[in-house]
């Protein structure tokens, strides 16, 4: 069980949150990007044995979206980034 530090509610139980997927690269402009770039944007995510950045949504709490950096092996949360 993760203890996730919501920027608004502070430390709350993981069960209050919904996982929002890994933080990928910014959406490329489809008018100028190549097919390869577009497919990479759609399918590739970082998969490290170590820190990964991911979105969480405090769905059963304040409703805030934000990002955390979490270690995929130890599950330690290293950093919380306040999203928009």
Partner 1 sequence: MQNYSLFSLAKNAFTGHRNWQKAWRSPPLKDEYDVIIIGAGGHGLATAYYLASEYGITNVAVLERGWLGGGNVARNTVTVRSNYLRDQSIPFYVKSVSLYEGLTKNLNFNMMHSKRTMVDVVHNYPKMRDLRRRQLTMDIYGSSYEQISTEQVRKLIPALTGGGANSRLPIIGGMVHKDAGVNRHDAVAWGYARAADSLGVEMHQQTGVKSLIRGTNGNIEGVDTVKGIVKAKKVIVSVSGHTTTLTETAGLRLPLRTMNLTAFVSEPIKPLVDVIVNCSDLGFYFSQSDKGELVIGGAPDSGQSFRRDIKQHVFEDTVGAMLELFPAFKKLKLLRQWGGHLDITPDASPIMDETSVSGLYVSAGWWGGYKAIPAGGLTMAHQVATNSPHPLMADFSFNRFKNLDYILETGTTTAR
Task: Catalog residues that contact partner 1 under the rule CB under 8 A.
Answer: 1, 13-15, 17-19, 22, 35-36, 39-40, 42-45, 47, 49, 52, 54, 70, 72-73, 75
Backbone angles phi, psi at 61, to 5 degrees: -150, -120
Q: How far is the CB of 74 from partner 1 (least distance, A)?
A: 8
Q: Which is nearer to partner 1, 29 or 48 (CB)?
A: 48
> To the nearest whole angstrom, how small is the minimum distance from the Cβ of residue 37 to partner 1?
12
Q: Is 66 exposed, middle or buried (0-12, 13-18, 19+ CB in 10 A)?
A: buried
* Contact assessment for residue 54 and residue 67, using Cβ atoms and an 8 Å cutoff: yes
């Amino acid at each position: 069980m993760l203890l996730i530090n919501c920027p608004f509610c502070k430390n709350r139980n993981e069960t209050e949150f919904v996982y929002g997927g890994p933080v990928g690269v910014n959406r490329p402009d489809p008018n100028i990007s190549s097919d390869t770039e577009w497919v990479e944007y759609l399918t590739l995510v970082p998969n490290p044995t170590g820190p990964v950045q991911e979105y969480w949504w405090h769905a059963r709490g304040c409703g805030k979206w934000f990002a955390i950096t979490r270690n995929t092996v130890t599950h330690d949360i290293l950093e919380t980034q306040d999203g928009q």
